[in-house]
Structure 1
Amino acid sequence: MNNYFCEACGIDSSFTRTTLVEYTTVKELDFKNTHTYYKCDKCGEMFEPFDNYDLNYLSDYEKYCEIKGLLTYKEIKAIRKTYGLSQRDLSKLLAISHATISRLEKGEILSEQQDVLFRLVAEPYAFYKSIVRTRKHVLKKEVAERLEERLKYLIADDYVEHKKEAEKWYEQVNEKKKII
């Protein structure tokens, strides 16, 4: 590993990347998680990773979201990118601030209400039917047209999967009708 200045011993030193399983608390939830540190080879002092100071914080965030069943910042960003929308355009459609979208994509934990909203947005047909169709007027015309075109393809791709699920449910309902 490269040499870095060690603030603890006051000299340039080599560092070893090390991992520890530690207890952490996020929003009053205690759990164990693996954290990464750089350990000074001279004095043994440990530091947050120099190349990504947020690594352990974001790891804790993801573990918390996993435990609580919430979407992560990576999933929120992926949803937006799936539709080819900027943060500003998505915020306009959802009637929430651009700052909120930005914070969520940087690692702020979603509220349960925000989680529900983004799960609906993640479903192309629900997003189109419930939001885009009624709120596309808040977007520039070319952005709205591009989004609707993208949604056509995404909805068509989802259709086959939804059709199979609907057929399975239809069979189950018919079986229950026979019993009654």
Structure 2
Amino acid sequence: MDMKIIKSEKRLCTCCMEEHEVKTVLVNDQAAFKNVKVDYDAFYLYCDAAGELYMDEQQIQENDVRLKDAYRRAEGFLTSAEISGIRTKYGISQSDLCILLGWGGKTITRYESHQVQDKAHDTILKKIDLDPEWFLSLLHDAKDNLPAESYQRYLDTATALYEKDWDSYLRKAIEANYAKYQGNQLLHGNTGLSLDKAVDVIRYFAASVKVTSLYKVKLMKLMWYADALSYKNRGFAITGLIYQALPMGAVPVGHNSIIDLKDVPCEEIDMGETNAYHFSLKNTSEFPALSDADKSILDIVIDKLGKMTKSEIITFMHKELAYTETAPRDAISFKYVEKSLQI
């Protein structure tokens, strides 16, 4: 039998009832659980005098968990550690998670120790792990059964996880919109899509005191000019965004989702019959996705266009060759920038 010695210490050997060096060893074991044969690593004590393996009480408990975790992996179930990890993710206690799920108060404790969950409970645990929105729904329903302090702590943690997942979903949705343009470098501006750069470009414009009344329409034009100027001066755009020729000028594909991305400083303002989107950022100088060369391009755009009103920048954009030569709603090719750009 192959054994890996983990440690050796002098102690009373309960196998031979003599005091001597007793080894703790790791052994690859095989056993059947619920008629499924599994291999798993087990810890034993080894008595040299008797040449036998034996277990103390703690090892019996730990090896039992290892056996059952091996079974869980074989059946595609969550392991005890993975169940514990779900609780850690949300910062919730064993008993409070049972309250959320409507299970007996010791159910999670048993699943994290000696009992294997059934398929139905495993499916529920996997869903709650992957879906913070569902956790928030369960938490709302269980609010009256939880201490106020615990409820608020779980709410804050799950909300943060949900917001993080929402940003990930938005990014994937935007990237999916761009898939059909893959390979057309004249539309991308010879650079791959970088939503991190797009977010920081918006933040950079929003933070500048030289940019006045930065609302959505004006922002979209500033972004196009930043990418266009970068393409003209360096041969590649900053963000990799693709712009369409809409009635009020160039607008990035997926613009409504882009302004909803995490860290975009967008405030929705009720204007009566419609809503306006205002962008403003104070007390920051950190734009990690942007290089100094990127910022230099943005500074030129700010100096040239930052004080323009919405109407002025629309009129200015409408005179661009890139706009006049592009059919309405078509994607704008950066090839026109090589011939003419007003800034």
> TM-score by structure 2 length?
0.46
Equivalent residue number for residue 145 of structure 2? 138
Determine if the alignment matches structure 1 residue 70 to structure 2 residue 61.
no
Which deviations, in whole Å up to 9, do the C-alpha atoms of 1:58-114 show, x marking residues without a partner?
221221111111111111122112222222221111111111121112231111111
Closer, same or farther: CA 86–3 of 1 in aligned 2, 3 Å: same
Is contact 2:11-2:22 (8 Å) kept? yes
Tell me by how many angstroms 1:126 deviates.
2.1
The whole-number CA distance in structure 2 between the counterparts of 1:142 and 1:71 is 29
Identity %: 23
Change over 3 Å in CA distance of 1:18–1:153 after alignment to 2: same
Matches of 2:114 and 2:172 in 1, distance apart? Answer: 34
Which among 26, 29, 32 is matched to residue 19 of structure 1?
A: 26
Q: What does residue 56 of structure 1 align with?
A: 63
Instruction: Name the residue aligned to 1:126.
Output: 134
Q: Unmatched 5+ residue regions in structure 2?
A: 1-7, 180-343
Q: Which has the larger radius of gyration?
A: 2
**1:18/1:81 CA distance change after superposition, 3 Å:** closer
1:163 paired to 2:170: yes
Alpha carbons 1:33, 1:60 under 8 Å: kept = yes
Q: Deviations over 1:4-39 (max 9, x none)?
A: 322332211212233333320111111222323221
Query: Do residues 107 (structure 1) and 107 (structure 2) align?
Result: no
Q: How many angstroms apart in 1 are the aligned matches of 2:56 and 2:16?
A: 17
User: 1:91, 1:98 within 8 Å by CA — same for their partners in 2?
Assistant: yes
Letter of the aligned partner of 2:21 in structure 1?
Answer: S
Paired residue secondary structure (1:54): helix
TM-score (normalised: structure 1): 0.82
SS of the counterpart of 1:109?
A: coil
What is the Cα deviation at residue 49 of structure 1?
5.6
Task: Check 1:135–1:164 CA distance in 2 against 1; reply closer, same or farther (3 A cut).
Answer: same
State the Cα distance separating 1:118 from its structure 2 match. 0.8
Unaligned runs of 5+ in 1: 173-180
CA change 1:31–1:121 in 2 (3 A) is same
Q: Distance in 2 between matches of 1:74 and 1:19?
A: 20
C-alpha separation between the residues in 2 aligned to 1:167 and 1:107? Answer: 45
2:161 alignment counterpart:
154
Q: Where is the helix percentage greater, Structure 1 or Structure 2?
A: 1
Task: Confirm or deny: 8 A CA contact 1:49 1:55 kept in the other structure.
Answer: no
Q: Distance in 1 between matches of 2:28 and 2:51?
A: 17
State the partner residue of 2:38.
Answer: 31
Question: What's the secondary structure of 2:15's corresponding residue?
Answer: coil
The amino acid across from 1:29 in the alignment is: V
Aligned length: 172
Q: Secondary structure at the match of 2:45?
A: strand
Alignment correspondent of 2:49: 42
- Summarize the Cα distance change of 1:165–1:126 in structure 2 as closer, same or farther, 3 Å threshold: farther
Q: Which moved more, 1:159-168 or 1:74-83?
A: 159-168
Quote the offset at 1:140 in angstroms.
Answer: 2.1
Q: Does 1:86 align with 2:93?
A: yes
> CA contact under 8 A between 2:43 and 2:59: conserved in structure 1?
no
